[in-house]
Amino acid sequence: MFWKKKYDFYLAGKMRGCPNLNKDMFTLVARLLREKGFTVWSPSEHDSYLKLSFAQCMTADLNAIINKCRKIALLPNWRDSQGANVEALCAFATGKESVEVVLNTDNTDIELMPFDLNVYHYPYREGKVSSFNPHKCELHSFTETQTQ
């Protein structure tokens, strides 16, 4: 399905394992980009994440990258995220431009540095090998487990 509205940027960054799913970073970068006149698709702004499995979240995210966004903006520490690495690979495979977001020292402005996904290797860090099986990932990896 192709969406009518196209966003300028999809935000890709580490969520799982971060306090509050790294929402502060996603919110900050989205705000700074919007102040510069860009339209932004931020996965952290979608409350449905609280009820979805990792696989469902990735499906929604990859759909947004493929069908809704012109470019991908890679947040600080994106290389440490399996999900953001998959999103970067998806952006590369579908011909999207990419930029790395660099925050100034007081987090009041950003610089968008062109990033060549043509040099992308999964996992991104040279010499580091990771394994990840989404089928063995906690079903609700974006929320704390609640006992009933």
Q: Residue 84 falls within a domain, yes or no?
A: yes
Residue 47 covered by a domain: yes
Domain holding 54, by residue range, is 7-119
Identify whether 135 is part of a domain: no
Residue 134 resides in a domain: no
| In-domain check, residue 75 | yes
Q: Is residue 139 part of a domain?
A: no
**3-class secondary structure, 7:** strand
pLDDT tens, per residue, the chain with 148 residues = 455 679 999 999 999 889 988 999 999 999 999 999 999 999 999 766 667 888 888 899 999 999 999 999 999 999 888 889 999 999 998 999 999 999 999 999 999 999 988 876 665 555 555 555 544 544 344 433 333 4
Q: What is the CATH number of the domain that holds 28?
A: 3.40.50.450
> Does residue 133 lie within any of the structural domains?
no
DSSP H or E run through 40: strand 40-41
Segment (H or E) for 127: none
User: CA-CA distance, 98 to 113, in Å (whole number)?
Assistant: 9
Q: What does each C-alpha distance from 79 to 14, 19, 48, 123 come to in angstroms?
A: 8, 17, 25, 8
* Phi, psi (deg, nearest 5) at residue 73: -110, 120
For 10, the token pair is 């999809």
Q: Is 44 helix (H, G, I), strand (E, B) or coil?
A: helix
CB-based contact 66:41 (threshold 8 Å)? no
Q: How many domains does the chain have?
A: 1
The reported pTM is 0.80
Looking at the domain assignment, is residue 14 inside a domain? yes
